[in-house]
Structure 1
């Protein structure tokens, strides 16, 4: 009986490992996670037409009403198509090439925290350089990045609404950051999850009272990134603000929005 039980447990563990090591799991989870994280903002956008409190959370400067459900619907199919035709196959190939294995032990809380923070700092650096280049090199902007800037006022789902080339480049930056640091698979998974959340929050169009940038001054948040979508010459880093400060490309979102609002009121 003991041998049968061990056999059964061994088969279950083997089956679970096969699922976890599937080349299609990472990209599929990334897409579903992105949708799940966008869902609360879809509710907020739907409530925005009837609830004054929700409208007061929207970022100012003439951002207008929340995006319609039709806009969400169109964006969903564009993102789904890019994932199915580009991200999923590329992620599968990358997973097969690196032949990952699952360690027996989980990382300590300290190692988990250090690796996740290090991943974000490295990814933020790579993203800043790549993003700056896409805006400064005309053919790169037209071929890779322009599609993402069709949204002058972004919303949550639009975080992934970009060209296939841009989605693949960001996938490479995220996977490359974790690979260069030699992260534990659990640290890498947590990094990708939090990366998805921060990307959604950056594009949500709301300056929420509980947003992370209100708690951590080093974070830019949605106002910081919405300024980039409006001006396109500043605030190139995805999450932190130190690189923009260092290279003189930082602009304070509040002052920008206040000036725009004041001009609107004067008119």
Structure 2
């Protein structure tokens, strides 16, 4: 526990809080001090997107509720495993390896699921097209998806990354918070020259913006970390 709050609870809800804090900060700043770094003017966002922000917020909250429910169930099932290992602490090297493994697993799962949802006309029309209602993306719309896509691509991908990497609930707090920051940054609609996500990852906001454009939906399927599969 951290300050008497179960780590499983923190691992479930801290990434959600990180998602909203970071996305709202970027969205507010995009309309003021960071406006010169926008990839698209505000008018394009207003004209091209075909879903109102109220619906985006509702859709994201639904997805996060589903993810929280699955995470709570997963932690309940495997709690005994972590209770028996509660006395041990993983080294920094072990945690770093777990992070890399989790990134590769999540990236691989989501890439192939994402690509298939584009190439299968039925799945694209009825499921993945929800996400592409945001032709000009913004941060808090990063997780705006059809609930089935949320389950298949995001939630199952996260569960696989957690289980295959063997990370602890404590490590999961940091990994999924980092992932939340990354996916928000990829959808923020800003090209920031000093942003470490955009400097260190080829798969960044400018790269993903091409995918959301009307002419780029058949390109740049990579997400959320690498471009190794493209």
**1:16 aligned onto 2:15:** no
Cα displacement (A) at 1:112: 1.6
**1:80 aligned onto 2:64:** no
The 2-side partners of 1:196 and 1:15 are apart by 23
Unpaired segments ≥5 residues, structure 2: none
Unpaired segments ≥5 residues, structure 1: 1-12, 245-267
- Give the RMSD, CA atoms, in angstroms: 2.6
- TM normalised by structure 2 equals 0.83
Secondary structure of 1:232's counterpart equals: coil
1:205·1:226 contact (CA, 8 Å) conserved in 2? yes
Aligned to 1:167: 150
Aligned to 2:70: 90
The 1-side partners of 2:139 and 2:190 are apart by 9
Larger radius of gyration: 1
The 1-side partners of 2:69 and 2:95 are apart by 29
The 2-side partners of 1:172 and 1:192 are apart by 13
1:87·1:164 contact (CA, 8 Å) conserved in 2? no
The 2-side partners of 1:137 and 1:87 are apart by 25
Q: Closer, same or farther in 2 for the Cα pair 1:205/1:140, shift >3 Å?
A: same
2:189·2:206 contact (CA, 8 Å) conserved in 1? yes
* Residues 1-267 of structure 1 aligned to structure 2 (within 5 Å): 16=4, 19-22=6-9, 26-47=11-32, 51=33, 54-59=34-39, 63-65=40-42, 72-84=53-65, 86-99=66-79, 101-102=82-83, 103-169=86-152, 170-216=154-200, 219-230=202-213, 231-238=216-223, 239-244=225-230
2:30·2:190 contact (CA, 8 Å) conserved in 1? no
Q: Closer, same or farther in 2 for the Cα pair 1:21/1:125, shift >3 Å?
A: closer
1:212·1:219 contact (CA, 8 Å) conserved in 2? no
The 2-side partners of 1:171 and 1:144 are apart by 15
Higher RCO, 1 vs 2 (CA within 8 Å, ≥6 residues apart): 2
Count of residue pairs brought into register by the alignment: 218
